[in-house]
A and B are shown apart, each in its own frame.
Chain A
């Protein structure tokens, strides 16, 4: 071993390489410089590589770089040995270093070839840049997408917030509405309960489902008792059928409401008059279900109305009697005429029969006249009684012409005495009217008496009273009383119908207002107009029977 090592550095057996170069200083210099420079360069390269590897930790094929460094370092050493061997013939050492270099070179070369495909597979910078660009583009895209997503998210959040606010507002509104409804419901309920008029609710089974206190008091049943009763059961017997029909109409929807005046029978059996107003309420969700009905007790009002009607009838009669009082002379005349004829005929008859040769034929005629005059007198009395008697107003078929004729016969003497020519122009085809005969006669009588009165002061023209009847299409009968009296100014034509308006010194001014009330109660009209060329015209109409219905 020692010998081997000694042999390595043994120089004595070999000639220095410079010798081969003949020690030519130039040539030596060339070799020394070239080999030295190469060696310096070669030595510097591994350091560069080492530095590079140390800085680029991500470098691929680090092993190959290391091998290459070692290989170049070995190469550098061989060149250094070239310089050394110029003077020192350590060729063994030089050869061993070359062997080492050869080994590492071959190993490095093998490694490089081995790594070649992988190295080739490594992307180039351009490729990397392109990839990078693409990546950046993708990143940009993604960022844009993310931004859009963010925007969408933000918008969504905004919408959610807005909708939430809306819903909250809705809920609040609904709560307010519910509160309002509840308040309203309470208000209605307290109105229902505290109302002074009766309020009741009827269900589809025609039973009362609710009844306020006023109604319970009015009818005398408790709410509990009423829940087993319905509108029909508490109605007065005569009014039940109508009530049943109306209830049917309400329940079937044929009618939406009705308002009637009818009678109830209270629990204690007494009968009361009520005004019933009912209307089908739309489904309201209220706790008060059923057909609501408002009931007012109008018994007192009805009593007052009846009393008023009676008073009115009495007034009619009294004014009629008063008019007849004015006519008493005329009426007496109407009775006296047949009576005096009867007396005269009776005496004549006595004398005819007492004669030596009784004129039986003439006596028989006299008796016949007595009979017809007696009848005539009794007819007059019957008419007077009719006018004077206290009777309930009635509606019967009245022949207006005959009613007028009777009035004219009662007033005939009055007219004559006043120097008035009476003319009746009666339509023979006049339809009958549905009326109270006495009241119609009272109207005609009033108008005739007014006419007589109006012509009392007339001295410069004929006094004519014209009474006409006529048919007025489509279904009225008109009666006109015209006079040639003092008339009235047109301004006064309505005043004259006012109660207590009078132009007469001894009149009380009721005739025309009463006449008008009678005509209106018959569904007709009474009016006044100025006569042409003078006087006054009073007209009234009455619906003909066909039009009035029965």
Chain B
């Protein structure tokens, strides 16, 4: 099944985290793009190319959960979302999963979990 949605989009306000995540995912052979904020991502118009969204929860401006709500509200095909956060906040996790997130990973996480999640996302 060919799919033009093949890029893993990373949205994180922390530059070093962004760079590291991009490098790691890229090392597994996935195409990767990074954005410093949810607003940047929305403004880029790259949603249609997005195979999977790796999203930080806490960010200035629109946070991860709010971006998820926007996308859900917009309807249509739902992009699989993988949340990565430093906060092990049960409420946030519950909200994310309820809204259809693929997974909610708490830093520091096992890279295998991330890869599995990406693979699952790409196979959808």
B26 CB within 8 Å of chain A:
yes
Known contacts A347-B111, A351-B28, A416-B63; is-contact A341 B86 (Cβ 8 Å):
no
Residues in B neighbouring A416, C-beta threshold 8 A: 58-60, 63
In the complex, the answer to whether B86 meets A340 with C-beta atoms within 8 Å is: yes
Residues in B neighbouring A351, C-beta threshold 8 A: 24, 27-28
Q: Tell me the interface secondary structure of chain A in the complex.
A: helix
- Nearest chain A residue, comparing its CB with the CB of B19: A369
| Residues 92-117 of B at the A interface (beta carbon under 8 Å) | 107-109, 111
B7 CB within 8 Å of chain A:
no
Question: Which single member of B24, B60, B61 contacts A347 (CB below 8 Å)?
Answer: B24
Residues in A neighbouring B111, C-beta threshold 8 A: 343-344, 347
Bound complex: CA A82 to CA B86 (Å): 199
In the complex, the answer to whether A413 meets B20 with C-beta atoms within 8 Å is: no
Known contacts A336-B108, A413-B58, A419-B63; is-contact A348 B20 (Cβ 8 Å):
yes
B16 CB within 8 Å of chain A:
yes
Question: Which single member of B19, B27, B60, B63 contacts A341 (CB below 8 Å)?
Answer: B19
In the complex, the answer to whether B58 meets A337 with C-beta atoms within 8 Å is: no
Known contacts A329-B87, A337-B17, A419-B63; is-contact A352 B27 (Cβ 8 Å):
yes
| Nearest CB on A from B118, distance (A) | 13
| Nearest CB on B from A359, distance (A) | 8
Residues in A neighbouring B121, C-beta threshold 8 A: none
Residues in A neighbouring B21, C-beta threshold 8 A: 341, 344
Interface flags for B13-31 (1: CB within 8 Å of A; 0: not) read 0101101110110111000
Chain B, interface residues (CB within 8 Å), range: 20 to 34
Residues in B neighbouring A421, C-beta threshold 8 A: 60-61
- Nearest chain B residue, comparing its CB with the CB of A421: B60
A387 CB within 8 Å of chain B:
no
Known contacts A413-B86, A417-B58; is-contact A345 B23 (Cβ 8 Å):
yes
| Residues 338-381 of A at the B interface (beta carbon under 8 Å) | 338-345, 347-348, 351-352, 362, 365-366, 369, 372-373, 376
Bound complex: CA A332 to CA B63 (Å): 19
Residues in B neighbouring A348, C-beta threshold 8 A: 20, 23-24, 26-27
Chain A, interface residues (CB within 8 Å), range: 20 to 34
Question: Which single member of B20, B59, B60, B87 contacts A344 (CB below 8 Å)?
Answer: B20
Residues in B neighbouring A189, C-beta threshold 8 A: none
In the complex, the answer to whether B20 meets A345 with C-beta atoms within 8 Å is: yes
In the complex, the answer to whether A333 meets B28 with C-beta atoms within 8 Å is: no
| Nearest CB on A from B16, distance (A) | 4
In the complex, the answer to whether B16 meets A369 with C-beta atoms within 8 Å is: yes
Known contacts A345-B20, A369-B20, A419-B63; is-contact A340 B109 (Cβ 8 Å):
yes
Residues in A neighbouring B19, C-beta threshold 8 A: 341, 345, 369
Residues in A neighbouring B14, C-beta threshold 8 A: 337, 341
Residues in B neighbouring A332, C-beta threshold 8 A: 86
In the complex, the answer to whether A342 meets B20 with C-beta atoms within 8 Å is: yes
Residues in B neighbouring A333, C-beta threshold 8 A: 58, 86-87
| Nearest CB on B from A312, distance (A) | 35
In the complex, the answer to whether B20 meets A336 with C-beta atoms within 8 Å is: no
Question: Which single member of A341, A362, A366, A413 contacts B17 (CB below 8 Å)?
Answer: A341
| Nearest CB on B from A70, distance (A) | 176
Known contacts A416-B63, A419-B63; is-contact A340 B58 (Cβ 8 Å):
no
| Residues 21-77 of B at the A interface (beta carbon under 8 Å) | 21, 23-24, 26-28, 58-61, 63
Residues in B neighbouring A343, C-beta threshold 8 A: 20, 108, 111
- Nearest chain B residue, comparing its CB with the CB of A342: B20
| Nearest CB on B from A377, distance (A) | 10
Residues in B neighbouring A417, C-beta threshold 8 A: 58, 87, 89
In the complex, the answer to whether B23 meets A344 with C-beta atoms within 8 Å is: yes
In the complex, the answer to whether B27 meets A340 with C-beta atoms within 8 Å is: no
| Nearest CB on B from A338, distance (A) | 6
Residues in A neighbouring B107, C-beta threshold 8 A: 336-337, 339-340
Interface flags for A408-423 (1: CB within 8 Å of B; 0: not) read 0000010011010110
Bound complex: CA A366 to CA B19 (Å): 9
In the complex, the answer to whether B87 meets A373 with C-beta atoms within 8 Å is: no
- Nearest chain A residue, comparing its CB with the CB of B23: A348
| Nearest CB on A from B56, distance (A) | 9
| Nearest CB on A from B11, distance (A) | 14
Residue with the greatest number of chain A CB neighbours at <10 A, chosen from B16, B19, B28, B63 = B16
In the complex, the answer to whether B23 meets A372 with C-beta atoms within 8 Å is: no
Residues in A neighbouring B89, C-beta threshold 8 A: 417
Known contacts A351-B27, A352-B27, A413-B87; is-contact A340 B20 (Cβ 8 Å):
yes
Bound complex: CA A362 to CA B14 (Å): 20
In the complex, the answer to whether A362 meets B87 with C-beta atoms within 8 Å is: no
Given contacts A352-B27, A416-B58, 12 further A-B contacts (CB under 8 A): A337-B14, A337-B107, A339-B108, A340-B86, A341-B21, A342-B20, A343-B108, A345-B19, A351-B28, A366-B20, A413-B58, A421-B60
Q: Pull 19 A–B residue pairs with CB atoms less than 8 Å apart, ordered by A.
A: A329-B87, A336-B108, A337-B16, A337-B86, A339-B108, A341-B16, A343-B20, A344-B24, A345-B24, A347-B24, A347-B111, A348-B20, A348-B23, A352-B27, A365-B23, A369-B20, A376-B16, A416-B58, A421-B60
A residues with a Cβ closer than 8 A to B are 329, 332-333, 336-345, 347-348, 351-352, 362, 365-366, 369, 372-373, 376, 413, 416-417, 419, 421-422
